[in-house]
Amino acid sequence: MPDAPQVQVDNLRALIEQHNRSYHLLDAPTVSDAEYDSLMEQLKTLEAAYPELQSSSSPSMRVGGAVLAGFREVRHALPMLSLANAFSDIEVRDFFERMASAVGSEALEFSAEPKLDGLAMSLKYVNGELTQAATRGDGETGEDVTHTVRTIASVPLKLNGQAPALLEVRGEVYMPRAGFHRFNEILKARGDKLMVNPRNAAAGSVRQLDPKLAAERPLAFFAYGIGASDGFNSSERHSSTLAQFRALGLPVSPLVENVSGVAGLLAYFNKIGASRDSLPYDIDGVVYKLDRYDWQQRLGFVSKAPRFALAHKFPAQEMPTRLLAIDVQIGRTGAVTPVARLEPVFVGGVTVTNATLHNFDEVQRKDLRIGDTVIVRRAGDVIPEVARAVLELRPESTCSWQMPTECPECGSAIRRIDGEAVARCTGGLFCPAQRKEGVKHFASRRALDIEGLGDKIVDQLIDAKLIATPADLFSLTFTALASLERLGEKSAANLIDAINKSRKPTLERLLFALGIPQAGENTAKQLARYFGSMDALIAASTDELKLIKDVGPQVSASVRAFFDEPHNLEVIAKLKANGVLWTEHAPIREISGPLAGKTFVLTGTLPTLSRDQAKARLEALGATVSGSVSKKTSFVIAGSEAGSKLAKAEELGLQILDEAGLLAMLASFDLTA
């Protein structure tokens, strides 16, 4: 016989709250989202069928309710006090010595915990049920935000076990970093204004008048203190109170520790500081509280802060300063990055004078202008960034910043391909900022394969001004190479020999070696096959480039921009003048062969064929060999230790062959080893 409705409802509520604690407090979910949703639907169905069983403490009531017209004032039964701050070890020692002197003992124990960067909150439980949530406000009077706090999954609507008649719990509402970033992505997709930081996001979410909007926000709560109470088994120590909170189902930071003496306080501060950037939420310091309640009472209060507690703050991670200029830096691939030049400001423990602005779109989105007062953010070792402009302090004479049209390093054109966030310098083979990486790529194994020309030798050649572009490699002399540090005569002779061996590359290898943005090895092969000669490719229009298989608008625009830059043409001409003679052929407009139109993906290690051998044999039959699996993939050739590509192929239901299957296919076309 099925259980009575009341029993079913009670069991479902208990089970759902258990899953809530596992998910939100322990970060160890015990059921899938689908199973959780199913339990919630069962509960809602029963509550709808039996209205008399509905309860304000039911987990089904976390979302819902009417939109409020405003916030009601709540007067706190006991004031919610702020804390005195310390910013140095000396201040912490002074704090300890004052207390030791006041209580007549240096054997002081403290409860220490991270100082969450969120919104202080008071939760009122009457006979175990949440009846009110209020912000700290001015410490005496706060705002009634019960309707939004009820939507926070980590806040219990009903306490576990034998609850006291009255319990006011003090704590912090915060927004975890992961949730903050996920919700900002949702806002971005909607075209809505993004949230500035997790602290502001938490405060703004709690102050929503519509609880349904608040329920969308990924908020959480940690309890850290007690207010008024009646029937609560008050212990002699703060740490014991936190243990009782946990037993009642209230979330308490897992990083709370008991420490002794000044050494214990400072060791805890340094330990939490070292892990600060890896925590799932923002903190701005740690809090020390004398653990014994009788000593707390003896010390009392000063103004609106207790004498027995202290907030030891980390260096500020956000500070205002003035934006003096916006320059651009050219990366090794030609990417143009705007950089803010700032009035020096101390933030996150260091003096900051420069900060990345990422790209032109970011400057426009934040509407940053020279002369603005801006907020600079730095977290740990993260590169400083400009978070936002303070619009109310903007000078009247400012105007929007424009991306320069010429590279500051080489004077080549800066162009931005439609659909790309990053603008690029087009002087790839000529630009000093791209020089070293360009030469290293040119000499790499899959490009011109100049054996012995390693990174350190390239660095030496460029630093000594022996070469400026890849073309200069072919005018190097034995004497010049032998003069380099740690490069003896034999190595110099071997390198000259390797350079000479690379003077007759195929057109496709040369095109790949040139490092044309967005033109990888396969694109270089398609370009060489379709046009047959360098001159024909240089003369090709963007529309003609787009006719090539797998060359879309962005790639064709990037190729065209590369050959439109005179500096790149000069380097190509110099290669030819220095004796580099690439092989050319008649253009192949149509790819022929029995596997034309088929796309293969190779993954894992084959027993006898190398990846290059398998690729060459497939391409000789007209197949396209791709580096990624998609619905358009015809066959996946899988060897040992095949990874994610094989998994994706199985998921898509693609045809998968091993080496034996591949060899059988090749043999059927009379293409044996």
**Residues 269, 263: Cα–Cα separation, whole Å:** 10
Output the six-digit token pair for 570: 């000069």
C-alpha span between 191 and 404 (Å, rounded): 28
Are the C-beta atoms of residues 242 and 111 closer than 8 Å to each other?
A: yes
d(CA 321, CA 315): 16
Residue 12's H or E segment, with its range, is helix 5-24
* Both structure tokens of 446: 């899959």
Within 104-228, residue ranges assigned H as helices are 146-149, 177-190, 198-206, 211-216
Question: DSSP for 80-91?
Answer: -----EE-SHHH
Contact at 8 Å (CB) between 301 and 80? no
- Token pair of 414 as six digits: 């800066």
User: What angle in degrees, to the nearest 10, is found between the helix axes of 33-49 and 5-24?
Assistant: 150
Helix locations, 444-539, DSSP H: 455-463, 478-482, 489-501, 507-513, 521-531, 534-539
Residue pair 289/307 in contact (Cβ under 8 Å)? The answer is no
25 near 251, Cβ under 8 Å? yes
Q: Are 495 and 453 in contact (CB under 8 A)?
A: yes
Side-chain half-sphere CA neighbours of 8 within 13 A:
17
Count of C-beta atoms within a 10 Å radius of residue 296: 20
Strands 635-638 and 624-626: unpaired
If one counts every other C-beta atom within 10 angstroms of the C-beta of residue 76, the result is 21
Show the tokens assigned to 40: 């919630």
531 C-beta neighbours (distance < 10 Å), count: 24
Measure the CA–CA gap between 169 and 76, rounded to whole angstroms.
12
DSSP 250: -
Picking from 285, 311, 240, the residue whose alpha carbon sits closest to that of residue 114 is: 285
Which tokens belong to 597? 């139109």
Pairing of strands 423-425, 414-415: antiparallel
Q: Check 115, 158, 525, 645 and give the catalytic one.
A: 115
Strands (E), 489-634: 599-603, 624-626
Tokens (6 digits) for 192: 């809505």
Beta strands in 473-618 (DSSP E): 599-603
Among candidate residues 341, 340, 351, the one with its CA nearest the CA of residue 316: 351
Q: Residue 534, Cβ neighbours under 10 Å: how many?
A: 21
Are 478 and 493 contacting, i.e. CB atoms less than 8 angstroms apart?
Answer: yes
Per the listing, tokens 């079913």 go with 8
d(CA 490, CA 120): 72
Tell me, yes or no, if 615 is annotated catalytic.
Answer: no
Buried b (16+ CB within 10 A) or exposed e, 395-417: eeeeeebeeeeebebbebbbbbb
List the catalytic residues: 115
